[in-house]
Structure 1
Amino acid sequence: MEWTSDAFILATRKHGEADLILEVMTPAHGRHLGLVRSGRSRRHSPILQPGNSVRATWKARLISQLGRFQIEPLTARAGSLMGSATALNGLQHLAALLRLLPERDSHPQLYSALSVLVEHLDRPNVAAPLLVRFELQLLQELGYGLDLSTCAATGLTDDLAYVSPRSGRAVSRDAGKPYHDKLLQLPSFLVDGQRQQGSEISYPEISQGFQLTHFFLERLHRGRSGEDAPAPPFAASRAGLVNVLEGAYRKTQPWDFINLPEDAVS
């Protein structure tokens, strides 16, 4: 068995004295692991860093085996990302989220979203809304997608302001007003057509977005592991990321409002 693909490095772990187990995300082969011989050498170590993009060739005698990677560098961004607290926490959280996916399942759209996100990960004001959207897309691909297109009560598309915690569907402001305390807030930057591209997004909206995705990520975890399950594996990385983003907002008051560039909207 053999394939070659562009890949994004999620993590590495030591194997023996000189080798590494490499974990990558690919468009056609999903999250994939493999062995890199002499991966801890001076030659390979700068390349095999989380955040870098590589050209990976995977080989194994049987598809069920771990297999081996041969790696060629494509984009070395790990050095620049290491200088950003948002990027470091974001990389850890993205890897934890992607481990919710079954290994070797194809997720090309999620890979495309990841490719856009990592290019902006060292800019908190751009990374924050993209991270919320990435979590929503991950939920979608895991079968826990939210329907934010129309009001669950009226079928209308105007003035969507809430999400039902039971159905995961949007609710308009008027229809949801009597149940305000029982509904989740829906920030307008997540609603198609409700905000123009490049318009300003306030940090409270970012916070609402993370609260929304947190609720459904927790539900996914409980659905898989049971109501009495311990905290999900992504809980610590997510808490750290949200704290860093909030800290960036508090330290730089001009970040009261943030702009999402048009090339990062999709």
Structure 2
Amino acid sequence: MNWQAEGYILSTQKHGETSAIIDVFTREQGRHKGLVRGGISRRMRPVLQPGNHVRVEWRGRLSEQLGYYTVEGIDSRAAELMDDRLSLTGLNAMTAMCREMLPERETHEPIFDVFEIVLANLHNIDVWPALYIRWEAGLLSALGYGLDFDRCAATGKNDNLTHISPRSGRAVSASAAEPYLDKLLRLPPFLRGESFSSPEDILDGLKLTGHFLETRVQWNLNRTLPDARHQLIDRLIASDIARIQKI
């Protein structure tokens, strides 16, 4: 059997003397591994860099087999961002989160669609960090751990929602949150639909989604969040857009 699709390289691992096993994220097939003959050759190495947009054909005798990929490069996102360390770190964080969080061979079309939107905006530092956090929130929802930003867990009202309960993942209004501020996670306004996001909002958003990704998803697998995501936070803090205390 075989299939064809466009997707993005998530990782490349040497296999044997000349081949490589690649992990590709496609809209139709989800996250899917396969063997590329000659994958470590001088011609193929630039094509198989994480984040690159590729066209692939997968062939295998049985669907559960590793199978073989034929790969054609479409664009080299990693090379385009090489001179922008922060955006490249964002790219690395996204590919690492896909590898860590998404079950292999499960289709998640909305996650793929927003993944492409974030990648298309990685050149714009005023836009992509907030998009990335929304993508992580969507990832939580796709994995069955969606957060409730719509109404207060205590009052049932939908106005002035400022925090999230770290236990339930439900929103809390400012008045209900007041006695428990040291125990709650701040809800950045851009996750409630506002267009503006401050550096503080970005880091609070990463803290919020990171908490639930680690305690809901990775905890069950006895894993922590990928190093690439921690590096993203460090780079944001060190950059001009986040000159605030480290979370």
The two structures have a TM-score, normalised by structure 1, of 0.85
Aligned pair 1:218/2:214, yes or no?
yes
In the other structure, the counterpart of 2:166 is 165
1: CA distance between counterparts of 2:27 and 2:218?
A: 28
**Which stretch shows the higher mean deviation, 120-129 or 133-142?**
120-129
Amino acid at match of 2:199: Y
1:147-190 CA-to-partner distances (Å, cap 9, x unmatched) read 11111122222111011112101111122222222211101000
Which secondary structure state, in structure 2, belongs to the residue aligned with residue 239 of structure 1? helix
1: CA distance between counterparts of 2:225 and 2:210?
A: 13
2: CA distance between counterparts of 1:248 and 1:233?
A: 22
Per-residue deviation, 1:233 = 4.8
Amino acid at match of 2:210: H
1: CA distance between counterparts of 2:113 and 2:151?
A: 26
Per-residue deviation, 1:126 = 2.1
1: CA distance between counterparts of 2:29 and 2:88?
A: 25
Amino acid at match of 2:178: K
Amino acid at match of 1:59: R
Which secondary structure state, in structure 2, belongs to the residue aligned with residue 125 of structure 1? coil
Q: In the superposition, relative to structure 1, how do residues 8 and 15 fare at CA in structure 2: closer, same or farther (>3 Å)?
A: same
1:37-89 CA-to-partner distances (Å, cap 9, x unmatched) read 11222332222222211111111001111001111222222211222212332
Amino acid at match of 2:92: Q
Q: Gaps (5+ residues) in structure 2?
A: none
2: CA distance between counterparts of 1:87 and 1:20?
A: 26
Per-residue deviation, 1:211 = 1.1
In the other structure, the counterpart of 1:62 is 62
Which secondary structure state, in structure 2, belongs to the residue aligned with residue 12 of structure 1? strand
**Which stretch shows the higher mean deviation, 240-249 or 122-131?**
122-131
5 Å-filtered alignment, 1:1-266, equals 1-99=1-99, 100-192=101-193, 195=194, 197=195, 200-221=196-217, 223-225=219-221, 229=222, 232-234=224-226, 236-249=227-240
Amino acid at match of 1:73: G
1: CA distance between counterparts of 2:73 and 2:190?
A: 35
1:179-234 CA-to-partner distances (Å, cap 9, x unmatched) read 22221110100003xx2x4xx32101111111111211121246414xxx4x5151
Contact 1:124/1:245, CA 8 A, preserved across alignment: no
1: CA distance between counterparts of 2:92 and 2:76?
A: 17
2: CA distance between counterparts of 1:69 and 1:233?
A: 29
Contact 2:199/2:241, CA 8 A, preserved across alignment: no
Amino acid at match of 1:24: V
Contact 1:51/1:81, CA 8 A, preserved across alignment: no
Per-residue deviation, 1:101 = 1.4
Which secondary structure state, in structure 1, belongs to the residue aligned with residue 105 of structure 2? coil
Amino acid at match of 2:103: P
Q: Gaps (5+ residues) in structure 1?
A: 254-266
Aligned length: 243
Q: In the superposition, relative to structure 1, how do residues 233 and 161 fare at CA in structure 2: closer, same or farther (>3 Å)?
A: closer
2: CA distance between counterparts of 1:250 and 1:77?
A: 23
Amino acid at match of 2:192: V
Per-residue deviation, 1:120 = 2.0
1: CA distance between counterparts of 2:87 and 2:189?
A: 25
**Which stretch shows the higher mean deviation, 4-13 or 67-76?**
67-76
Amino acid at match of 1:149: D
Contact 1:96/1:233, CA 8 A, preserved across alignment: no
The alignment-based identity, stated in percent, is 43
1: CA distance between counterparts of 2:2 and 2:11?
A: 22
